[in-house]
Structure formats: C-alpha cells, structure tokens
Amino acid sequence: MQVSQGRGDEQLIRCASDRYRRRPHYQRPASARYTETMSISLAYSVDADDAFMFHALRAGGVDTRGLSFTHQRGDTSELNALAGAGEIDVLAISAGAYPGVAGKYLILPHGASVGRGFGPVVVARQPMALADLAGRRVGIPGLSTTAWLVLRQMQSGLLPVVVPIVPFGRIFECLDAGTIDAALLIHEGRLIYQSRGYARIAELGEWWQAETGLPLPLGVNVIRRGLGAETIARVSAVLRDAIAYALDHRDEVLRVLAAEKRGEAALAQTALLDRYLAMYANDDTRAMAPDARRAIEVLFDRAAKAGLLPADCRIDWAP
C-alpha cells in the first residue's frame, strides 16, 4: 500500500482517563479579500457528528476565505454512492468506501469519526453468539459502509439486508417484525438499543482494537481532486476552522442539534447528543492522529487479504 502524507497534523493531549481534552485554538482570521466567490458543494449525513462539524459554515462562525458552501444531507449509503459519481466537492463517507473513490478524492486530515475501543454494534431480540448468525439475515446500513466491511471480517456467511438509517427507527421496526434476525447499528442507534430491550451480540470497535491494537476509523471527509491544489488547501483550511469552532463552542452547537427534527424523540435528548458527540466529535475530528491514519492502512490491507477490497489502494491525503 502506498501512502502520501499531508501536512499539519496537530498535537493531541491524552488525559489519564484515555480521552482527549480539548485545547481551544480556533482564532478567526482576518478576512482576506477575494474578488470572486467560489461555490463548494458539501454532502454529509443526517447524524449529529456531521452536523456538528459543518455547523459554523451555516452559522457564519468562521471566515470562509471567499468560498460559499451548499449543503446536502443523506444517509451513509447515499453519500458513498455520491462519492462514486465524483460530482460533489466535499463528502463525509465511510472509510471503507474510500478505495472505490480514491481516483477522484483525497482524504482530508480532519473531520474523521474514530472509535477508540468502541464502534458499531450488532444487536438482536435475544442473546446469541455472533457465529449463530451465519446464514441468517442481518440488517445493515449499506453494503459500502465500514461497519459492514469490518463485520464480514469478524464473521462470514451473514446474509445482508440493507436498511437505510433514514428514517431512524426503521431498523428497529424490522427487528420487531422479524424481517431481519439481527441489526448492525451505527451512529446514534448504538446508544439506545438497550433502552428498547435488545441484546448486544458484538461490538465492532472492541473486536478491532483487540485484533489490531488500533482505533477503528469509521468515517472520513474527502475532497475532490479536480478542485486543484490551491482550492483544496483553501477549503481544507476553512473546514479545519469550522471543526475548531464547533469544538470550542460545543454548548452552542449542542443546543442547535437538539432543536433539529429527525423523526425520533430520543435524538433530541441533550444527554444522548452529548454522549454521542463525546464519542465521535472530538480531537480525532479536529485532526486525525497518527494511529488513526495507520488504522486506515490496516483496515484496507486486512480487507484486501480477505478478498473484500482490491489490493494496493493508494491513500492520498489533502493538506
């Protein structure tokens, strides 16, 4: 595997509790003068962590350096498909989908969703071993998702049934109706399954860390190569500032997210949102740490050896 390194990894401070504490560093730069405004298209999911990192662009919280941004939201599988088309400038996609779009996009060094000892979960109505699901139907958020890529490395013979994450409650309805035997939950779903009486069968982040000693890279932001080096650098700088703004104004963003209507009352609970953002919108989002970058390489290498991804995927990083 070939890896092209970007610039400007930021230092992370690890606390004794093994969580990262934030160090405020965002400073709004003096507005540069641009003779023309350039439009940049964004596409990201309906989930709270994606909305969190792009909030400042909607709220006018950062200097956009002569750029304007259009916002499109969809479910994870839709975003991966959009990346395949190569028309959107910046997308939040599954890390496992990157090999399929590497010719069109660079990975941005910020905006990642990383699980450190945690990740998507497999749940069912009754306790069972993961091996018991061989030959049985498992609801998944998409065939191109990182969660499905990792789950296939954990257990073969699963029968995937794609259940989009929108509307949010559909996966639970399918479980209750018996149209699937288990569900692979990503995003906020992993935080509420217990309150609905489901049993956890497997935790992907725990398994991955035990297997590799690395965090699990679940989602990445990518930027279209065709924008050219100068524009890519400018867009990346604005997005980095937007993430820094959100981290440094967390309570403000949390209130906005709680007011969003996403068709499920639980998703408006401040305590749930706070817990979810602590997991997936943190200093790993601000700047991808070296171990998370290494984890992407390992993810692709292991999947290629298992015949799940093509070999020799080139990973190119934006600045």
CA distance readout (Å), 198 to 9, 127, 133, 283: 40, 8, 15, 31
3-state per-residue secondary structure call for 177-243: HCCCCEEEECCCHHHHCHHHCCEEEEEHHHHHHHHHCCCEEEEEEEEEHHHCHHHHHHHHHHHHHHH
What is the token pair recorded at 136? 């049985």
Residue 187 is a catalytic residue: yes
The answer to whether the beta carbons of residues 120 and 279 sit under 8 Å apart is no
Burial (Cβ within 10 Å: 0-12, 13-18, ≥19) of residue 233: middle
Token pair 């390489």 in the structure block, residue: 297
Residue with tokens 């956009």: 64
Catalytic residue, from 71, 110, 187, 249: name it. Answer: 187
Beta-carbon contacts of 84 under 8 Å, excluding residues fewer than 6 positions away, are 100, 101
What lies within 8 Å, CB to CB, of 177 at 6+ separation is none
In the numeric block, the tokens 């997991």 are attached to: 279
Side chain identity at residue 318, one-letter code: A
Which positions are annotated as active-site residues? 187
